[in-house]
């Protein structure tokens, strides 16, 4: 049963019930109802709903069949009546019933109507009942809106006010086209709901078959559009993720090529020069040259591994600094001294400008040295032979600025922002001599930011040189100097008893030889078990132990040593060099964690510091 049929049925039952009932009850009914006097052909009683639908129009004029029911006494049911109401579309279902007096004569006709305008128009337009519908005469504003429209929009506002301002033009254009072309057109537009929310609708403007009225219909597509937008975004993200993955794969391949080059080049040099040393015909000068080449190649490999570890820590947020007052002059002088041979070999002039007496920053001396070395390395890389690199130190209020300016190839403006990205080589992965991994400036940026400073790159373009500027907060003036972390300890290793534990014979023998030359009395062990035997025969002052050993690793060894109560300083010297590895080593019982490869001076300084600390602690107070 359709909605229209249900309404007619209700009207019929109501009309039947009203026969013989006091007419005054009509005013209480919700359906348009009238009681007509047959004799006088006038409406005796009409309720508010009737007046709202028909106004003051004569009921005999608007409802067909009243005279017939009055004459025959037989009721009539109208399933659909088209009403003429000032040109507005209006339809009703009507039921007419005769009311008789005691003699059986028809004295009144009871008319009960049901407004079915919305249902009829929905059928004519072939839309669902929940669709918004509004209409008006061609060339005029809307004078009709269905119940759904009346509850959706703000009361008393025209349809244009319900349209989002960004969609108003296309709605008016669509309506104008439909009127002029007597056709229909669809657009998507946002309509404001009575609560103020704009929702997307599929809006259609069409002309009635008579050509006298236009109709607007709107179907809610808000969720559909949102779902479509989400699918579009999901697809876009998927495409972006696929593009990132493909780019990452290409980058990985390029990066592996670079890493392979950076590791193979010095390794090749070491192997070739090692062959020279094995050749008994080499004279003293050639052997010295071979030794230098092997050492330099090993240092290059060490820097490559160190850079990879640093950038890994930076990405994981595990790069840390130990902030202490540091003299800027000493930092700059140390970095320039370190790079002087490289610059001289490339015929590059190192020019020092500006000097700050007593200028200090709160920083990590080792890490800040690394920053300056990376800046100088970048400058040397970009500068051709015969060029100039200028290092300038200035005070800027409460900050100290260090500028490194080169006269080299410069950087294109669009690549400046990428200079501090990991693995960036100013946008070029082509191997050109000493181009390196492209990690130096990325590490420098991370370290500078950990010092609460800034770093920036400036270049007027290709061929115009580059300036890298580091700005750090100046330290508060002080009178007592504190040695920076990592500075060599003045104490030697004279007669310090050291036990080296490592299952790699080459490393074990090299450490024994070099620590012996530093003055230590060195014993060695190839395993944890042998180390315990050595300690039982004579406890050393310091144990230098590898972690990744066969049978029993360094963690197990140091835990057993600490459990035994032995008060022996212990250093983990290992290739396991992540922050997690550091924490695990210290938690197991080691006093220090040093990453391979390591410079002898750094190892000696750490051994000396631990020995001094234990000797001071062992001195008993006098008295």
CATH number at residue 462: 3.30.565.10
Same domain, yes or no, for 387 and 453? yes
- Of 220, 239, 263, which residue is a domain's last? 220
Report the pLDDT value the prediction gives residue 433, as an integer from 0 to 100: 40
Rounded Cα distance between 522 and 500, Å, is 7
Same domain, yes or no, for 293 and 182? no
Q: Are strands 521-525 and 542-545 parallel, antiparallel or unpaired?
A: unpaired
Same domain, yes or no, for 418 and 287? no
Helix pair 440-450, 284-315: axis angle to 10 deg: 50
Asked if residue 479 is part of any domain, the answer here is no
Report the pLDDT value the prediction gives residue 555, as an integer from 0 to 100: 95
CATH of the domain at 593: 3.40.50.2300
Report the pLDDT value the prediction gives residue 63, as an integer from 0 to 100: 86
Structure tokens at 493: 């290793």
Report the pLDDT value the prediction gives residue 400, as an integer from 0 to 100: 92
Q: For residue 391, give the 3-state DSSP assignment.
A: strand
Q: Distances from the Cα of 585 to the Cαs of 313, 572, 579, in angstroms?
A: 17, 7, 10
Here the contacts of 579-587 (C-beta below 8 Å, separation 24 or greater) are 579/313, 579/316, 579/318, 579/320, 581/547, 584/555, 585/547, 585/554, 585/555, 585/558
Rounded Cα distance between 33 and 20, Å, is 15
Same domain, yes or no, for 85 and 131? no
Asked if residue 238 is part of any domain, the answer here is no
Same domain, yes or no, for 204 and 264? no
Rounded Cα distance between 67 and 41, Å, is 8
Number of domains the chain contains: 5
Asked if residue 231 is part of any domain, the answer here is no
Report the pLDDT value the prediction gives residue 198, as an integer from 0 to 100: 94
CATH of the domain at 185: 3.30.450.20
Asked if residue 34 is part of any domain, the answer here is yes
What residues make up the domain containing 46?
A: 3-115
Same domain, yes or no, for 87 and 163? no
Same domain, yes or no, for 382 and 341? yes
DSSP structural state of residue 621: P
Report the pLDDT value the prediction gives residue 424, as an integer from 0 to 100: 59
Same domain, yes or no, for 93 and 209? no
Query: Do 325 and 365 form a contact (C-beta atoms < 8 A)?
Result: no
- For CA atoms 571, 576, 578, 581, give the dihedral sign: negative
User: Which helix (H) or strand (E) segment is 399 a member of?
Assistant: strand 399-406
Asked if residue 482 is part of any domain, the answer here is no
Residue 22 bridge partners (DSSP): none
Report the pLDDT value the prediction gives residue 436, as an integer from 0 to 100: 56
Same domain, yes or no, for 41 and 95? yes
Rounded Cα distance between 38 and 69, Å, is 9
Same domain, yes or no, for 369 and 260? no
Asked if residue 53 is part of any domain, the answer here is yes
Structure tokens at 388: 């100039």
- 518-534 pLDDT, tens digit per residue, is 999 999 999 999 999 99
Half-sphere exposure of 318 (CA within 13 A, CB side): 13
- Please classify residue 38 by burial: count the beta carbons closer than 10 Å to its beta carbon, then call 0-12 exposed, 13-18 middle and 19+ buried: buried
Q: How many residues does the chain have?
A: 623
Asked if residue 126 is part of any domain, the answer here is yes
Instruction: Return the HEC string of 204-237.
Output: EEEECCCCCEEEEEEEECHHHHHHHHHHHHHHHH
Same domain, yes or no, for 277 and 340? no
Structure tokens at 255: 């990066």
Same domain, yes or no, for 306 and 342? no
Report the pLDDT value the prediction gives residue 526, as an integer from 0 to 100: 95
Mean pLDDT by 10 residues, the chain (623 residues): 65 64 64 78 80 81 86 89 80 87 84 88 89 91 90 84 94 93 92 93 90 92 92 93 85 73 78 84 85 83 76 70 85 86 88 80 87 88 90 90 91 82 52 54 86 90 90 69 41 85 90 92 94 92 92 94 92 84 92 86 91 76 51
Query: Do 363 and 372 form a contact (C-beta atoms < 8 A)?
Result: no
Structure tokens at 130: 């929940």
Structure tokens at 249: 């794969």
Q: What is the DSSP string of 307-361?
A: HHHHHHHHHTT------EEEEHHHHHHHHHHHHHHHHHHTT-EEEEE---TT-EE
Rounded Cα distance between 54 and 32, Å, is 9
Rounded Cα distance between 432 and 439, Å, is 16
Report the pLDDT value the prediction gives residue 604, as an integer from 0 to 100: 92
- For CA atoms 499, 500, 505, 509, give the dihedral sign: negative
Asked if residue 489 is part of any domain, the answer here is no
Instruction: Return the HEC string of 401-429.
Output: EEEEEECCCCCCHHHHHHCCCCCCCCCCC
């Amino acid at each position: 049963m359709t909605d229209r049929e249900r309404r007619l049925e209700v009207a019929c039952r109501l009309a039947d019930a009203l026969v013989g009932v006091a007419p005054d009850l009509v005013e209480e009914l919700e359906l348009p109802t009238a009681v007509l006097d047959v004799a006088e052909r006038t409406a005796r009683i009409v309720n508010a709903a009737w007046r709202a639908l028909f106004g003051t129009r004569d009921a005999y004029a608007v409802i067909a069949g009243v005279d017939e029911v009055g004459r025959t006494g037989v009721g009539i049911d109208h399933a659909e009546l088209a009403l003429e109401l000032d040109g507005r579309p209006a339809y009703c279902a009507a039921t007419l019933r005769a009311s008789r007096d005691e003699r059986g004569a028809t004295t009144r006709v009871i008319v009960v109507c049901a407004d079915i305008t919305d249902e009829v128009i929905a059928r004519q337009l072939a839309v669902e009942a929940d669709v918004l519908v509004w209409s008006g005469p061609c060339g005029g504003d809307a004078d009709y809106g269905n119940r759904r429209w009346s509850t959706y929009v703000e009361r008393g506002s025209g349809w244009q006010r319900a349209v989002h301002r960004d969609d108003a033009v296309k709605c008016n254009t669509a309506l104008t086209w439909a009127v002029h072309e007597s056709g229909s057109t669809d657009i998507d537009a946002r309509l404001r709901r009575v609560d103020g929310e704009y929702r997307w609708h599929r809006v259609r403007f069409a002309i009635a078959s008579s050509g006298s009225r236009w109709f607007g219909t709107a179907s809610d597509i808000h969720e559909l559009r949102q779902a479509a937008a989400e699918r579009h975004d999901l697809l876009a993200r998927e495409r972006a993720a696929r593009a990132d993955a493909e780019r990452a794969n290409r980058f990985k391949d390029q990066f592996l090529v670079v890493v392979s080059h950076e590791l193979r080049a010095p390794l090749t040099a070491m192997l070739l020069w090692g062959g020279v040393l094995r050749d008994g015909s080499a004279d003293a000068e050639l052997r010295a040259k071979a030794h230098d080449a092997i050492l330099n190649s090993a240092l290059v490999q060490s820097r490559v591994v160190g850079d990879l570890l640093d950038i890994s820590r930076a990405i994981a947020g595990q790069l840390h600094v130990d902030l202490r007052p540091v003299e800027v002059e000493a930092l700059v002088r140390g970095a320039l001294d370190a790079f002087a041979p490289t610059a001289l070999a490339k015929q590059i002039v190192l020019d020092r400008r500006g000097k700050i007496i007593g200028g200090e920053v709160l920083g990590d001396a080792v890490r800040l040295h690394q920053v300056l070395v990376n800046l100088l390395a970048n400058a040397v890389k970009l500068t051709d032979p015969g060029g100039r690199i200028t290092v300038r130190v200035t005070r800027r209020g409460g900050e100290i600025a260090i500028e490194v300016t080169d006269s080299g190839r410069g950087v294109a403006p669009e690549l400046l922002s990428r200079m501090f990205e990991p693995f960036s080589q100013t946008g070029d992965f082509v191997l050109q001599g000493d181009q390196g991994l492209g990690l130096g400036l990325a590490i420098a940026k991370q370290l500078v930011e950990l010092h609460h400073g800034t770093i920036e790159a400036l270049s007027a373009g290709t061929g115009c040189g580059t300036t890298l500027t580091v700005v750090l907060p100046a330290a508060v003036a002080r009178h007592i100097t504190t040695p920076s972390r990592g500075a060599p300890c003045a104490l030697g290793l004279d007669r310090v008893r050291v036990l080296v534990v490592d299952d790699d014979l080459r490393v074990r023998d090299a450490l024994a030889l070099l620590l012996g030359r530093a003055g230590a009395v060195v014993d060695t062990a190839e395993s944890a078990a042998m180390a315990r035997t050595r300690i039982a025969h004579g406890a050393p002052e310091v144990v230098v132990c590898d972690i990744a050993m066969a049978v029993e690793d360094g963690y197990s060894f140091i835990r057993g040593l600490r459990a035994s109560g032995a008060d022996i300083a212990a250093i983990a010297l290992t290739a396991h060099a992540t922050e997690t590895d550091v924490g695990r080593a210290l938690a197991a019982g080691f006093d220090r964690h040093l990453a391979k490869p390591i410079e002898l001076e750094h190892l000696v300084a750490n051994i000396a510091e631990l020995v001094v600390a234990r000797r001071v602690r062992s001195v008993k107070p006098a008295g």
